Amino acid sequence: MRRSSQTMIHKPPPLTVAKVLETFRRIAKESGKNSKEKKKNHVRALLVAACDCEPKYLIRLLLKDKLRIGLSELSLLEALACAAAYAEKHSVSCGSFQSDLSKAVDVLKGVHSMVPVYERIVPALLDGGVWNLADTCSFSLGIPCEPMLSAPAKSVSEIVNRYHGIEYTCEYKYDGIRAQIHCMDDGSIRIFSRKLECCTNQYPDVILAVKRLKRVPVKSCVLDCEIVGYDSEQMKILPLQKLMTRGRKGVHVDNIKINACIFAFDLLYLNGQSLLQEQLKIRRKLLKDSFEVETGILQFATALDSSNLDEIQVFLDKAVNASCEGLVIKTLSVDAAYEPGKAKWVKLKKDYLESMWDSLDLVPIGAYFGKGRRTAFYGTFLLACYDPDKEEFQTVTKAGTGFSEEVLKEHCQILSSKMIPKPKPYYRHISGKTTPDVWFEPSEVWEVKAGGLTISPVYCAGSDILNSNKGFSLRNPTLIRPREDKSPEQATTSKQIAEMYFRQWQGNPHMPPDDEEINS
DNA sequence: AGTGCCTGCCC
DNA sequence: ATTCTGC
DNA sequence: GCAGAATGGGCAGGCACT
C-alpha cells in the first residue's frame, strides 16, 4: 500500500460521499476468482484518495457492523428526529421544544421498527413531517417489520404473579428459525428472517405450503411463525442443527432433504389491513380462520390459556418433552397489541430454571485474549471435561460470559499463575480450530450451565463415543460459579456428557444421524 | 477435487 | 443466543 | 428498563491453496 501511494504521480480527486458509497457497493459485488485481490484494490484506492481524518472513518466503516464510534442506528434516528423537529419548530406550539424533541424521537423509533427502510421514512418525513409520520409511513405488505421479542423470566411463579388477574396464553417455544411471511395480493410470497433478511429463496417448500393452506378469503396477509425441521416419517420435530443443514442458495423443492414445518403464532396483516394494533385474542382468531392446518406442514403453535401455576408447570414440561425450548407467555387482551421490536412477550426456557438446566463442571485449560473492554484480560476460556478411562481432558466449549468484570479479573489472575508453555500431553483438542492463546495447568473447576448439548465438529469431548470425527459441545454456555470443592479429575466426564446429549432427545425417537450413533 | 479458512447468518 | 454494565 | 458491547455453537457458501 505504501509503495503504491509513493509511486503515485497525480493525487486522486478528493473523496465524495457518493464515490465512497459507490466503491463500497463495488466491493460488495466483487466475487469469484481473485475477488479478494480486487476488493483489496478498491480499499487501497479509497485510502490513497483519503486525507485528514478520512482514513480513520473509512477503516471504521469497513470494520463491519458499526462505525465503532458510538454512533448506532438509534443515534441516527435521533438525529433525523431532531432535524425534523427543528425544521417544524414553528408549526407546533404545544409544550416545550425539549418535549417535542423527545416525542419526535419516539415517533421515529416507532416508525422505524415498523418500516425499517430509510428510503421510505425520509421521503415521508419530508413530505408530511414528523407529526404525521406514523400515518404517512406505516407497516405495509412486502416490507418486514421488526419481530416482537420476548424477555426471559426465571420461574413459572414470576409469570403467575406478573399477570395476576389478566388473561394470557402460554405457547410452545419452538426451536427453529423465526420467519415473517408476507402473502402478497398477486399471490406471491416473501419470507423474512428475524433480522429482516429476505430468505424467500431458501424455503420453496414453505412457500408452497403457505399457498396451499391459505384459505380462499385471504387475499393478502402477514404471518409470524417459527420454521422448524420436521421428520415426516416419525412425525417429530428435528433439532435446529438439522434444519440448518439445508441449502441456502439455489434451493429447489425436489432436492430438499430436511423438511420444514411452519408453526404459526401470529397474524400481523390481513386483506389490506394492518392488525398490529389489534389484541392478540383477535389476531389469533383471524390467524386460525385464515389457514388450514396440516400436520408436519403448517400448524399453529400449541397453546394453553391458563393462569394456574401447576397447569403451566406441567405444560412447560410437555413443551420440553416435545423438543421445544420452553414457553412464550403473551397477554391476550390487556396490553396485547403487536409491538415491533419490543420485548413485551415473556419467554420461559428450561435453561433459565435452575431445576431444569443442564449443568456441567469443567476445567479451564486455556484462554484467549479479550477485545474492547476486555483488552488486557482473557476474554474467553477453553473448557474441558475429563475422561477417567483415558485419563485425559477433552475440550467441550469456550466460555466468555456469566462473570462480572471483577470476577473475570480474579479468574485471570489465578489462572495466569498456572500458565504453561505447551498443552499437556493429556489434553485432547482439535489443533488449529480451537487453539487458545495460552494454556493452563489443570487446577480450577467451574460450573457451567448450558441450554442444551450439540454435536460438534471442533470439540472432542466424548468423541470416541461417536462414530464420526465429532465430539459434544454446549449451546449457550454460561459460567455459574467456581467449584472449589472439586479437583479437575472430578470434573464432569465425557460419558456423562454423552448421556446428557441422548437424554435431551428422549421422548423424541429421532436420534442423531446414522453416522453419529453410539459406537458399539 | 479436496482441504482449510473466513464471513455472514441462524440460534 | 446470554450476560453484564452504564445510563 | 434499555441499549451497547463483551462473549457462546454451528451451519452453508465462497475463496485460496494444494
- Which pLDDT score, from 0 to 100, does residue A513 have? 46
For residue A60, the model assigns a pLDDT of 75
Q: A150: which strand partners?
A: A345
- Are A387 and A493 in contact by the 8 Å Cβ rule? The answer is yes
Ranges in chain A, pLDDT < 50 = 1-5, 510, 513-515, 517, 520
Name the nt closest to A475 by C-alpha to C1': D9
Residue A399 has a pLDDT of 98
Task: For strand C, give the nucleotides within 7 A of a protein CB.
Answer: 1-6
Q: Is A34 exposed, middle or buried (0-12, 13-18, 19+ CB in 10 A)?
A: exposed
Catalytic residue positions of A, numbered? 173
| Residue A515 pLDDT | 43
Q: Give the CA-to-C1' distance from A314 to D9 in angstroms.
A: 30
CA distance to A154, A472, A473, A494, A502, per residue, from A498 (Å): 27, 7, 10, 6, 6
How much helix, strand and coil, in percent to the nearest 5, is found in chain A? 35, 25, 40
Q: Using the CA of A478, give the nucleotide whose C1' is nearest.
A: C2
Q: Which long-range contacts (CB under 8 A, 24 or more apart) does A131-137 make?
A: A131/A88, A131/A92, A131/A107, A133/A107, A133/A108, A134/A107, A134/A110, A137/A111
How far apart CA A478 and CA A398 sit, in angstroms, is 9
Handedness of CA A58, A62, A63, A67 (dihedral sign): positive
Determine the Cα–Cα distance for residues A317 and A292; give it in Å rounded to an integer. 28
User: What is the model's pLDDT at position A9?
Assistant: 64
Residues whose CB falls within 7 A of nucleic chain C? Answer: A 152, 178, 194, 349, 351-352, 401-406, 449, 451, 476, 478
In angstroms, the CA A350 to CA A358 distance is 9
Q: Which of A357, A385, A364 is nearest to A463 (CA)?
A: A385
Phi, psi of A15 (to 5 degrees): -70, 145
* Distance between CA atoms of residues A257 and A169, nearest Å: 34
Residue with cell 463491519: A64
Residue A279 CA: distances (Å) to CA of A58, A67, A144, A233: 46, 39, 20, 37
**C-beta of residue A312 within 8 angstroms of C-beta of residue A153:** no
What is the C-alpha to C-alpha distance for residues A38 and A2, in angstroms, rounded to an integer?
Answer: 17
Q: Which amino acid is at A411?
A: H
- Using the CA of A179, which nucleotide's C1' is the nearest one? B10
* Model pLDDT, residue A518: 54
Residues lining strand B, beta carbon within 7 angstroms: A 64, 175-178, 193-195, 197, 199, 240, 244, 432-433, 475-476
Question: How far apart, in whole angstroms, are the C-alpha atoms of residue A178 and residue A223?
Answer: 11
Question: Residue A2: what pLDDT?
Answer: 44
Residue A465 CA to nucleotide D9 C1', Å? 20
Q: What is Dmax (Cα atoms) for chain A? A: 81
Determine the distance between A158 (CA) and D4 (C1') in angstroms.
27
Question: Strand B nucleotides below 7 A of a protein CB?
Answer: 4-5, 7-11
From the CA of A31, how many Å to the C1' of B7?
Answer: 13
Please report, rounded to whole angstroms, the spatial distance between the CA atom of protein residue A433 and the C1' atom of nucleotide D9: 13
Identify nearest nucleotide to residue A244 by CA to C1′ distance.
Answer: D11
